[in-house]
Structure 1
Amino acid sequence: MNNGDSTAIFSTEAGFIALNGSVKIQILELLKNGSKSFDEIVNHTGKAKATISVHLKDLRSCSLLEEHVDPDDRRKKIYSLRCQYVACSQEPGLEHYTDMLKIISSTDFERFGSLVCVFHAVQYGFLANGINCDPIMRNIGRDVGKSFAHSLISTEPDDLFAEMEVFWEKNDIGKFSVLSKDPLKLEVHDFFACKSLPIKTKVLCTFVKGVFEGVFIDKFAIDCTMENISVCNNNCEPCILVMKEFKKLL
């Protein structure tokens, strides 16, 4: 979590904005995972409602977020990002990046898999250099998912999920299971061997969301958003992904 001395850089249609202030950065980090209500933002930050109102007003004036009326309750407001998180002056990635390089230089390199180690090193390397690669990795994940979809035959959801599970295990991508279908909720385990490595901080959550979105775009002709509702922690628990938004593609 950023502290009061950290600075984050965000990209908007008008250019780059450097933002200093832990509460504002907390709010924008929360909104990276999808739109949130005013009450959700208050609960997440632990600040007074009046304080959050001031911060939200400031962020709107900078075109960093936008406000909408909640379709389920017009008395309430929901907030979403109008920017992309580009970089932060303080990231935990440097330590993990150094540890990953040590693994690559050790005899564990072959045991964990050379491509897996290099892939994780690239992810931590972005963080170590202060770059938030989530938007890029999500887009790459979507492209990879669309490419995976070319190897899948099924177009019916149940058959597709069964085929995907076999495909994932066969190609050492990881494992997943369907927890519910309405809304669609998936539990993803050990994606690209993340759990087998001694470094237990997740860096692939955004990438795996993009992979599923890419498969669904190709197979179901829908533009969808998968949201990770699980907590990323040092235990590297499974990701719980929920389909939040989707629309039919023309």
Structure 2
Amino acid sequence: MIDSSLPDGHRFLRYIFQALRFGFESHGVDYEPAIKKIGKDIGASISSNFKSESLEELLDEITVFWSKNGLGNVKIDDTNPPVIIVDNCFECHSMPNMDKKLCSFSAGLLEGIIAGNTGIECIIEETKCCGNGYDHCTYKMVKQTS
């Protein structure tokens, strides 16, 4: 009998996510806006699970959430404006340098969680990515309104 279990379910999901990305790209589809919107929608829908009462507390809670769910290892580098650094990002960690940022889903997820929990509408901009030659991803909140 063949053992059909996978030793690392997070790694399997990472491969599926990357295969979808390459599939869309190979057909000339600009998937980034749709992927970011999906991430934002999911973030908004799970934001009620975060119990923080301030942006700073929420960023700490996001750090734990990212790690527990195999999304990567988060460090908050600054809080004004927030700078979020992710090592071992599930979207791009094992990707070669493709001269482009790849993590629009994560940016959208962060936007949705922040807006849903705090009411702050923001744009999360990915400034560094494994996909453009860095060994980690960096996100910066570039716009916020209450």
- The TM tier, using the shorter chain, reads 0.7 to 0.9
Q: Which has the larger radius of gyration?
A: 1
In structure 2, the residue matched to 1:240 is 138
- Identify the match of residue 54 of structure 2 among 151, 156, 164: 156
| Cα shift at 1:216 | 0.9
> Structure 2, unaligned stretches of length 5 or more?
1-5
Write out aligned runs for 1:136-147 (5 A).
136-147=34-45
In structure 1, the residue matched to 2:114 is 216
The higher relative CO (CA closer than 8 Å, separation ≥ 6) is in 2
Percent identity among equivalent residues?
28
Q: Would the alpha carbon gap of residues 240 and 193 (structure 1) be closer, same or farther in structure 2, given more than 3 Å must change? A: closer
The answer to whether the Cα contact below 8 Å between 2:101 and 2:132 also exists between their aligned partners in 1 is no
The answer to whether the Cα contact below 8 Å between 2:17 and 2:91 also exists between their aligned partners in 1 is no
Q: Would the alpha carbon gap of residues 246 and 159 (structure 1) be closer, same or farther in structure 2, given more than 3 Å must change? A: closer
The answer to whether the Cα contact below 8 Å between 1:179 and 1:186 also exists between their aligned partners in 2 is yes
Deviation digits for residues 125-162 of structure 1, max 9, x if unmatched? 11111111111011011012113322211122232222
The answer to whether the Cα contact below 8 Å between 1:173 and 1:191 also exists between their aligned partners in 2 is yes
Give the superposed CA RMSD. 2.3
The answer to whether the Cα contact below 8 Å between 1:140 and 1:207 also exists between their aligned partners in 2 is yes
* TM-score normalised by length of structure 2: 0.80
Distance in 1 between residues matched to 2:47 and 2:136, nearest whole Å: 23
Letter in 1 for 2:13: L
* TM-score normalised by length of structure 1: 0.49
Answering whether residue 31 of structure 2 is matched by residue 133 of structure 1, we say yes
In structure 1, the residue matched to 2:70 is 172
Q: Would the alpha carbon gap of residues 236 and 121 (structure 1) be closer, same or farther in structure 2, given more than 3 Å must change? A: farther
Aligned residues: 138
The answer to whether the Cα contact below 8 Å between 1:139 and 1:210 also exists between their aligned partners in 2 is yes
